């Protein structure tokens, strides 16, 4: 999700229907069977999400997928179509591209190496990747923690790559991890007196190289072995690792005045900064397991949750206010090539909201898509409505 610099604005997307109207409306919606009757305590939150999804469809989004979990209750919703060509109704369990949500899983694979003593958070990356300096020319020693928290200052390879050639050509270009960093190396890495938060896709490419060097496996295989396999996340995989499922929700861009299907683009094959396909259910499963100590030790999880100087990003985790506990919620947004996703969970993993959207077809935006900011707002408000 290149370009994010500031915490989410505090716009609020209020529900426009009561629980009774929600129950009445569900029967006629496109995309999935009628969900079971929901408890009154959660009805307002579900109504807000339903209204958000309807608004997105009215604005031209092909599909919206949502799942809420609240202390054992589950509510799933899918509105729209899998593909604008086939018009087949989308289902709640359909996979979508989740862009930068990928970073949270890559961060877990790095932190597992820290727990094993094979890596230190404050190790210089050059100790483990001696060739990194030759490729990206860092002006000062960079640590593992710097990469995880986006405070390294490394130039963003994606910005340079996208500006280099026509977008269709970029989308159809397959790159190795080293080739991605080589694009970052074409921009001078500036030395600053105080290096703060600077979101860069390159940080997580370097981290994936580190994991691959120490594990001897591709990063997608490590994620599968350590996270998605043990947690039963069968709908989650790296683009290029398997044939694109027929039920995937398709993403679109407008390029040279033509609508183009950009589902499973070659440029995201194996990308540790944004190449995962997943489902709203799988993302809730992942973040719940993470918060409940099923993937990392309490001490390591605390490190992951500790915000950097910007105050809203930890080690592969975005941080939001949780007014139910006067504490914080954790997760990650994703925004890339026709897709937007937000997955958010309470610190105890019992309240969760995941929303995935295939954007209304439009020209590519390099930077913040306003829709993902709106998704973050509605997800945060929903989570805070489930006290």
In the numeric block, the tokens 């707002």 are attached to: 377
Degrees (nearest 5) of the Cα angle 294, 298, 299?
140
| Residue of 29, 23, 104, 11 lying closest to 318 (CA atoms) | 104
How many angstroms separate the CA atoms of 98 and 265, rounded? 13
Contact 251, 222 (CB under 8 A): no
How many angstroms separate the CA atoms of 116 and 97, rounded? 31
* Domain boundaries of the chain, sorted by first residue: 19-383
Q: How many residues does the chain have?
A: 387
How many angstroms separate the CA atoms of 377 and 48, rounded? 11
Contact 134, 182 (CB under 8 A): no
| Residue of 48, 4, 92, 81 lying closest to 284 (CA atoms) | 92
Q: What pLDDT does 168 receive?
A: 94
Q: What is the pLDDT of residues 131-153, one digit of tens each?
A: 998 999 999 999 999 999 999 99
Q: What pLDDT does 42 receive?
A: 61
How many angstroms separate the CA atoms of 11 and 176, rounded? 39
Q: What is the pLDDT of residues 116-125, one digit of tens each?
A: 999 999 999 9
Extract the runs of DSSP E, i.e. beta strands, from the chain. 63-70, 73-80, 96-97, 237-238, 252-255, 258-261, 276-278, 318-322, 327-336, 339-346, 351-358
How many angstroms separate the CA atoms of 50 and 68, rounded? 11
Q: What pLDDT does 191 receive?
A: 82
> Ramachandran region of residue 295, left (φ > 0), alpha (ψ -120 to 50) or beta?
alpha
How many angstroms separate the CA atoms of 41 and 48, rounded? 13
Q: What is the pLDDT of residues 60-88, one digit of tens each?
A: 999 999 999 998 889 999 999 999 999 99
Q: What pLDDT does 70 receive?
A: 92
Q: Which residue positions in the chain have pLDDT lower than 70? A: 1-42, 193-194
All residues at 6 or more sequence positions from 167 whose CB lies less than 8 Å from its CB, including other chains:
253, 255, 364
Both tokens assigned to 91: 């289902």
Q: Residues 282, 268, 261, 337: what is their CA dihedral angle, to the nearest 10 degrees?
A: 80
Beta bridge partners of 292: none
Mean pLDDT computed over every residue of the chain: 88
- What fold, for 19-383? Beta-lactamase (3.40.710)
């Amino acid at each position: 999700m290149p370009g994010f610099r500031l915490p989410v604005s505090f716009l609020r997307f209020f529900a426009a229907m009561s629980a009774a109207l929600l129950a009445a409306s569900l029967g006629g919606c496109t995309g999935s069977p009628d969900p079971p009757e929901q408890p009154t305590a959660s009805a307002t939150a579900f109504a807000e999400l339903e209204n958000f999804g309807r608004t997105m469809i009215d604005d031209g989004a092909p599909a919206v997928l949502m799942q809420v979990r609240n202390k054992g209750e589950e509510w799933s919703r899918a509105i729209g179509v899998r593909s604008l060509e086939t018009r087949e109704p989308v289902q709640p369990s359909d996979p979508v591209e989740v862009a930068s949500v990928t970073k949270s899983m890559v961060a877990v694979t790095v932190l597992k190496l820290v727990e094993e003593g094979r890596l230190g958070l404050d190790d210089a990356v050059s100790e483990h990747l001696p060739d990194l300096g030759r490729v990206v020319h860092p002006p000062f020693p960079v640590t593992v923690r710097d990469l995880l928290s986006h405070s390294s200052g490394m130039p963003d390879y994606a910005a340079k790559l996208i500006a280099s050639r026509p977008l269709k050509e970029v989308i159809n270009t397959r790159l190795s991890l080293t080739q991605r960093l080589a694009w970052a190396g074409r921009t001078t890495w500036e030395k600053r007196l105080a290096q703060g938060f600077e979101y860069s896709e390159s940080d997580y490419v370097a981290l994936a190289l580190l994991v691959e060097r120490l594990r001897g496996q591709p990063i997608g295989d490590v994620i599968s072995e350590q996270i998605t396999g043990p947690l039963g996340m069968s709908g989650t995989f790296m683009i290029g690792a398997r044939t694109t499922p027929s039920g995937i929700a398709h993403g679109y861009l407008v390029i040279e005045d033509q609508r183009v299907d950009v589902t499973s683009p070659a440029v995201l094959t194996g990308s540790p900064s944004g190449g995962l396909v997943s489902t709203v259910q799988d993302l809730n499963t992942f973040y719940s397991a993470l918060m409940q100590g099923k993937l990392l030790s309490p001490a390591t999880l605390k490190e992951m949750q500790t915000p950097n100087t910007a105050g809203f990003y930890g080690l592969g985790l975005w941080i939001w206010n949780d007014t139910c506990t006067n504490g914080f919620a954790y997760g990650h947004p994703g925004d890339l090539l026709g897709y937007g996703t937000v997955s958010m969970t309470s610190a105890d993993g019992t309240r969760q909201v995941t929303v995935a959207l295939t954007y209304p077809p439009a020209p590519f935006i390099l930077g913040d898509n306003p829709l993902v900011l709106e998704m973050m707002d509605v997800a945060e408000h929903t989570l805070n409505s489930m006290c």
